[in-house]
Amino acid sequence: MNLMPTECAPVKYPMQIIKGNLITLNKFAIYIPDGKVINNGWGAKGSIHLTGKEIKPVPDFLEITWFSYTENKFYKGDFNLPQDKILQLFKEGFINPDDGKKLTYRYITVGLAPGGGVSVWLAGEKVSKEVCFLQAHDTDYTWTDFIPNPDYPREKFVRLMLSENLGPEEISAIERNGVPIDLWSKTYRVRYDWKPLVISKARPLNILVGYYNGEREFIDFQDKPKEIVYSRTIPGNFWLNWMGTDGSNYSAEGTFNEEEIFAAFTKLSTENPGQPIQLQLEVNDINASVKLFLRNEKFFIELVRYNINVYK
């Protein structure tokens, strides 16, 4: 197996790994890139360091220590990993969104969240799948071992790094409202039974969906079994491809408004529980525009606060 470790953290909540290793059954340690501030996005690919043997055993243990700048806290975790699940996902692979060919995963991504949350994904070309979510604990760590510079005591250094990685409004919001530690461990991981459905005279080809829990899924509309409703988290963005009746290919890149999309899913699942949900994408083949709706058998909600760009 050739899985390269990489790292990530939420955009507005910078972290810094002090030490991290993925460890195999034969005690072979694969180190996770460390020593830099990360806030590249939840589930995103970070640093890639090519070291050691190209083919490595499946990791079954994770040890990691890091600093959370917005919380001014150190965290540490030692975790058993679901080795069988990692191996199964690696063998199953995924369909490459660019050419439709089957690939296997290339990266194992470790994500660090406020509150000590740790997520692990397998990732490949534009696609990623969550392996597990883990909970670390805060820990004491000698500050001078982390930053051995007497000119930068703890409070001064934290303020400096926050100002370098966040804007004034973002820092003010955190100081005013605190850090929403339940977002990544709870809110973003809630799953609903839903599927995307394209309504149009045009022929839908495929869609790439990015989810709030850091996963990214490619759905080929030519592959009917993939259209079956199943448990997914709430989508944050998508890239839809279709062929118009004029024979031209079109793409639409869309980003949901977080407040609106979460409220819509909550309403449908609360007022009509147990019913599958459809994310309905209505493509106008004349002017190549896209409208979005969330619906089930009882309710029909038009989404209006999303951003979308259409390309020919």
> Average of pLDDT values for 139-156?
94
Half-sphere exposure of 3 (CA within 13 A, CB side): 32
- Same domain for 275 and 197, yes or no, is yes
pLDDT at residue 52 in the model: 57
- Same domain for 25 and 90, yes or no, is yes
Last residue of a domain, one of 117, 139, 161: 139
- Same domain for 29 and 128, yes or no, is yes
Determine, yes or no, domain membership for 131. yes
CATH code: domain of residue 208:
2.60.40
Q: What is the SS3 assignment for the chain?
A: CCCEEEEECCCCCCEEEEEEEEEECCCCEEECCCCCEECCCCCCCCCCCCCCCCCCCCEEEEEEEEEECCCCEEEEEEEECCHHHHHHHHHHCEECCCCCCEECCCEEEEEEEHHHEEEEEEECCCCEEEEEEEECEEECCCHHHHCCCCCCCHHHHHHHHHHHHCCHHHHHHHHHHCCCCHHHHCHHHCCEEEEEEEECCCEEEEEEEEECCCCEEEEECCCHHHHCCEEECCEEEEEEEEECCCCCEEEEEEECCHHHHHHHHHHHHHHCCCCCEEEEEEEECCCCEEEEEEECCCCEEEECCCEEEEEC
Determine, yes or no, domain membership for 173. no
What is the pLDDT confidence band of residue 137, given thresholds at 50, 70 and 90?
Answer: very high
Determine, yes or no, domain membership for 36. yes
- Same domain for 198 and 303, yes or no, is yes
The answer for residues whose C-beta is within 8 angstroms of residue 225's C-beta and 6 or more apart is none
Determine, yes or no, domain membership for 148. no
- Same domain for 9 and 128, yes or no, is yes
Determine, yes or no, domain membership for 150. no
Last residue of a domain, one of 106, 139, 172: 139
> Average of pLDDT values for 90-103?
91
For residue range 19-77, what is the model confidence (pLDDT) as tens digits?
Answer: 999 998 888 889 999 999 999 999 999 998 765 555 567 899 999 999 999 999 999 99
pLDDT at residue 242 in the model: 96
* pTM of the shown model: 0.94
Q: Please give the Cα distance from 12 to 170 (Å, whole number).
A: 7
* Best CA proximity match to 83, nearest among 127, 34, 120, 42: 120
> Average of pLDDT values for 9-18?
98
- Same domain for 194 and 129, yes or no, is no
For residue range 187-203, what is the model confidence (pLDDT) as tens digits?
Answer: 999 999 999 999 999 99
pLDDT above 90 covers a percentage of the chain that reads: 83
pLDDT at residue 28 in the model: 86
- Same domain for 98 and 220, yes or no, is no
Last residue of a domain, one of 104, 139, 174: 139
pLDDT at residue 225 in the model: 57
User: Would the pLDDT of 227 be above 60?
Assistant: no
- Same domain for 114 and 28, yes or no, is yes
- Same domain for 25 and 122, yes or no, is yes
What is the pLDDT confidence band of residue 209, given thresholds at 50, 70 and 90?
Answer: very high
- Same domain for 12 and 133, yes or no, is yes
User: Would the pLDDT of 230 be above 70?
Assistant: yes
Contact 124, 107 (CB under 8 A): yes
User: Would the pLDDT of 135 be above 60?
Assistant: yes
Q: Mean pLDDT in the chain?
A: 93
φ and ψ at residue 191, rounded to 5 degrees = -110, 145
Determine, yes or no, domain membership for 170. no
Q: Which domain holds residue 302?
A: 190-311
Determine, yes or no, domain membership for 156. no
